[in-house]
Structure 1
Amino acid sequence: MIDAPVRWGILSTANIARIKLIPAMRASAHAEVLAVGSRNQESAQAFADEMDIPRAYASYEAVLDDPEVEAVYIPLPNHLHIELAQKALDKGKHVLCEKPLALTAAQAASLRVPPGLLFCEAFMVRHQPRWLAVKERIEAGDYGDIRMVQAMLTFGLDDPGNYRMRPEFGGGALYDVGCYAAMATRFAFGCEPRRVMAHASRDPEHGVDVVASVLLDYGEGRHASLMVSTATSAAQHLHIVGSQGAIDLPEPFIAPVERPTRVVHDNVFDLYQSDPKTETFPPMDQYEQEVSRFCRALRGEEVGLYGLEDSIANLRVIDAIFASVDSGGWAAVAQ
């Protein structure tokens, strides 16, 4: 028997809510979209009419005041995430917040999550069945000790009015896609890096980082590298190398909905004897997986969500990356 669907409020008319999260909520047996809030009634009502949402509110706070809204999704520009997350939690709402939670680890650490409420950062990739399967096999030692991780996530942004081009809004490649790549290396190693070395190129007009390369030292001979950009063609990969095997996740971050996802395993030491095996997973919507797992956790099921401490840890890595970009040398990651 499925519990009653979780009633959701959407804080913003952002495009990601329109094209990803609201369709995911509609596809989930565990969720119901009840309300949307915007900065004015006209905007909220137009969005509600377009997306067939029952209630439209002229402010974000009005959504939080609706006693029937149980959880909220926050897809606002980066610099507004933590403020609205705290307001929602203070009103007794569970929170699924787009990444990054804040612009620094110190800001993230100021968030207070009352007992009984869920907070989760919206890294939808960690809800993919193949990511969960890879994590389980890493922890079981199927690939030996993980020694190297390489992550890449890039795309082209040609809209100068986009908030990602505004430093004061938390724009730039590192906040937008670098947080995914950093999270992926932490996910694979199961611990935190000790220090990072980074270089970034900035947009000459807007000042945000648009290309960044990072080395991460996890200690004990464990290394990771990541490359991210908002100024190139689209590319993505995640490669994990252990002492007893290697793992490749094609299309790791923006996963296909209409076809199976794949994991490629290779367990040889001699490149001339390489014999990769491809494992497939059924087509799925990673956003629907994210929503459903959050709702199931809210109803009391143990699904292994990542909470506030993980958000703080990921931002400590981002903090160190920016410190290295500024100094030109290695920067320690706060522990």
Structure 2
Amino acid sequence: MTIRSVVRGSGSALPRHAVSNAELAQRVDTTDEWITERTGIRNRYLADPDETTSTLAIAAARAALEAAGIDASRVDLIVLATATPDQTFPATATQVQHALGCHGGMAFDVAAVCSGFLYAMGVADSMLKTGMAKCAVVIGAETFSRILDWEDRGTCVLFGDGAGAIVLEAVDVDLADPLAPGIIATRLHADGRHNQLLYVDGGPSTTGTVGKLRMKGREVFRHAVVNLAEVLTEVLEAAGKTSADIDWVVPHQANARILDATARKLGLPPEKVVVTVHDHANTSAASVPLAFDTAVRDGRIKPGDLVMFEAMGGGFTWGASLVRV
């Protein structure tokens, strides 16, 4: 028997306010047609002043625990991926911990932008496998609208706010069983040479301000397609699987073009790719768990399915993880 991190449940949360392209065009020099054609995005959710990264994260975590049928008192690890924490410190994860009432365990944030959830899941998986924890809540949560330059129509139309979470539990599984559940293989990467292609132009130690998001979209697109195809191949090889074995790919929802290009490069049929970018836009670290929870709740992803998570974000950071749910 071998310990694996098994997904017990998922949850998600969105702000109250949905903003369509047409509504956004009333405040930004753009059109519904321009946004849809270039990105596939038709809608996004933007947080009101009383909605924060922590409130969204707490709601998503509670939904995941309810779906898992697990009491919060059993949670001894919370890893929250975000680029938009409520405060510089303490970690937003500690606010989630307090709200859930699971005191005394570990709680910390991970910063890897759009790849953040993959990084957070990888960290939690390692800690569960080594016995440092037994039950983890892994969250991706963002209020990216707080760091957008609303005068830059090339970036502000791309992003939205939201949160997604999963509950992981350390379980002894029989690896001789081909349908044994849990995280099978994960690979994570980073390359800091590309900082200036996707970044925020502020921070406590440089400008003393929060800063705004800056992106060179064409260059990011080129790197994303190559890096994601490579890491997906790497994970499949580590797991002894092929793309034909995958039931679902749950990618970071950056834009429809990247999703299509990555699927083509791997020879994956589009019907195997979970796409929610049209409804939620790019929610950074929340993107992957939000899409996963959407597909679980609408019945697409079922117990026993082999699911590939993948993402790339600023840094650059990127990664993928293969999971039997």
TM-score, normalised to structure 1's length?
0.28
Task: Report the structure number with the largest CA radius of gyration.
Answer: 1
Structure with more relative contact order (C-alpha pairs < 8 Å, separation 6 or more): 2
TM-score, normalised to structure 2's length?
0.28
